[in-house]
Amino acid sequence: MKHTIMIVDDNTYIVEGLMAILKRRDYQVISAKEGAECLKLLKTITPDVILLDLTMEPMDGWEILEQIKGDQAIRHIPVIIFSGREITAVEKQEHGTLVEDFMLKPINPKNLLDKIEQVVKRQSPLPLDLNRPKEAGIGL
């Protein structure tokens, strides 16, 4: 099953670069250039992970994050924040429990892919092993 990653960033070059990296790993990728577009897409698409830039207008990444986490239907979607500036200690304290990770641009592709794979694995249900009850001495 292909996993879907949503990239939310107003910089076309960054979006194109991230899309190329993710598609090489066989991820399905969708993108939004700003907050309203992101929230509109989330009404019809449920990505496995959202990569969210902080510095956008008119709605910044923190505002988008608050709207995502405030919506019961989509609050479960993991979010990785990325930014061209350092995240402050206050921002980490205020928002740290709402996100999977904070990453500084330029993003190291290997680190990004490793983080996404960790998040996707945590979200995926464990495979059912129908032989387990018999091995444990439980007959079906």
Q: Helix crossing, 12-24 with 109-123: angle to 10°?
A: 60
pTM: 0.86
Number of Cβ within 10 Å of residue 101's Cβ equals: 16
CATH number of 4-135: 3.40.50.2300
Low-confidence ranges of the chain (pLDDT < 50): 128, 130-131, 134, 140
C-alpha closest to that of 4 among 95, 114, 134, 123: 123
Per-residue pLDDT reduced to its tens digit, 28-44 = 999 999 999 999 999 99
Structure-token pair, residue 54:
């902080």
Sequence spans of domains, the chain: 4-135
47 contacts 82 by C-beta, under 8 angstroms: no
Q: What is the pLDDT of residue 96?
A: 82
Q: What is the pLDDT of residue 118?
A: 95
Q: What is the pLDDT of residue 65?
A: 97
Q: What is the pLDDT of residue 97?
A: 86
